Amino acid sequence: MKKLLAILLTLSLLLCTLPTMAEMGEAEDSVHRATVLNEAMLIGTWKFETDETSYVYQFEEGGKGTFNINDRIYGQVEYSLNSDILSVRQESSTSVYFRDFRAFTDETGIRLVSGEIVLTKENSTSEGADVSSSADDDAAVPDDLVGEWTGVGTPKNGGPSIDLTATINADGSGEYTFDQSGYHESYPFTISSDDSAFSVDIPADNTLGISACGGTWVLEDGVLKLDITTTFANGGSYSYTAECKRADATAAVPDWAGREWQLDTIHFKTLSEDSPYSIDGGLSLNGGSTYGNRLVLADGAVDTDIDLNGLIQAVPQLPFSVPELELTGYDSYTLDGDTLRLEPGDIEMTVGYGDDALSLTYVTHVDIQSQSMDNGLTSQAGETNLEVIMGFVPMEATPAEDSVEETAETPAEEPVDEPAEELSSIEVGDIVPSGIMSRMATMPTGWNPSSGSCWIQRTRWQL
Q: Residue range 419-438: average pLDDT?
A: 30
98 near 14, Cβ under 8 Å? Answer: no
Tens digit of each residue's pLDDT (9 = 90 or more) over 123-155: 633 333 343 434 344 446 888 889 899 999 999
Q: Does domain 17-139 have CATH number 3.40.50?
A: no
CB atoms within 10 A of CB 105: 22
- What is the band of 372 on the pLDDT scale with cuts at 50, 70, 90? confident
Give the per-residue pLDDT at 437. Answer: 28
Give the per-residue pLDDT at 250. Answer: 47
pLDDT of residue 16 exceeding 50, the answer is: no
Give the per-residue pLDDT at 303. Answer: 94
pLDDT of residue 442 exceeding 50, the answer is: no
Q: Residue range 397-407: average pLDDT?
A: 41
39: left (phi over 0), alpha (psi -120 to 50) or beta: alpha
26 versus 62: which is more confidently predicted?
62
Q: Tell me the torsion sign for CA atoms 9, 11, 14, 18.
A: negative
Give the per-residue pLDDT at 105. Answer: 72
65 versus 454: which is more confidently predicted?
65
Q: Residue range 211-223: average pLDDT?
A: 89
The backbone torsions φ and ψ at residue 96, rounded to the nearest 5 degrees and listed phi first, read -130, 130
273 near 253, Cβ under 8 Å? Answer: no
Beta bridge partners of 443: none
Q: Residue range 261-272: average pLDDT?
A: 92
Give the per-residue pLDDT at 417. Answer: 45
Tens digit of each residue's pLDDT (9 = 90 or more) over 299-340: 889 999 999 999 998 888 889 999 999 999 999 888 888 889
> Among 218-232, 246-260, 301-315, 420-434, which is the least confidently predicted range?
420-434
The mean pLDDT of the chain is 74
- What is the band of 161 on the pLDDT scale with cuts at 50, 70, 90? very high
14 near 101, Cβ under 8 Å? Answer: no
> Among 11-25, 115-129, 301-315, which is the least confidently predicted range?
11-25
CB < 8 Å & 24+ apart, contacts of 90-94: 90/15
Give the per-residue pLDDT at 94. Answer: 66
235 versus 409: which is more confidently predicted?
235
Residues with Cβ < 8 Å from 354, sequence gap 6 or more?
none
- What is the band of 22 on the pLDDT scale with cuts at 50, 70, 90? very low
210 versus 28: which is more confidently predicted?
210
Give the per-residue pLDDT at 126. Answer: 35
Q: Residue range 410-422: average pLDDT?
A: 40
- What is the band of 363 on the pLDDT scale with cuts at 50, 70, 90? very high
pLDDT of residue 102 exceeding 70, the answer is: yes
What's CA 48's distance to the chain center, in Å? 45
User: CB burial class (10 A; 0-12, 13-18, 19+) of residue 345?
Assistant: exposed
- Within the chain, all domains assigned CATH 2.40.128.20 are found at 143-246
User: CB burial class (10 A; 0-12, 13-18, 19+) of residue 341?
Assistant: middle
Beta bridge partners of 45: 58, 122
Q: Residue range 63-71: average pLDDT?
A: 82
What's CA 116's distance to the chain center, in Å? 45
- What is the band of 31 on the pLDDT scale with cuts at 50, 70, 90? very low
* Distance, CA of 244 to CA of 188 (rounded, Å): 17
Residues with Cβ < 8 Å from 167, sequence gap 6 or more?
147, 148, 149, 174, 175, 176
Give the per-residue pLDDT at 350. Answer: 94
pLDDT of residue 178 exceeding 60, the answer is: yes
Q: Does domain 143-246 have CATH number 2.40.128.20?
A: yes
Find, among 93, 76, 135, 140, the residue nearest to 110 by Cα: 135
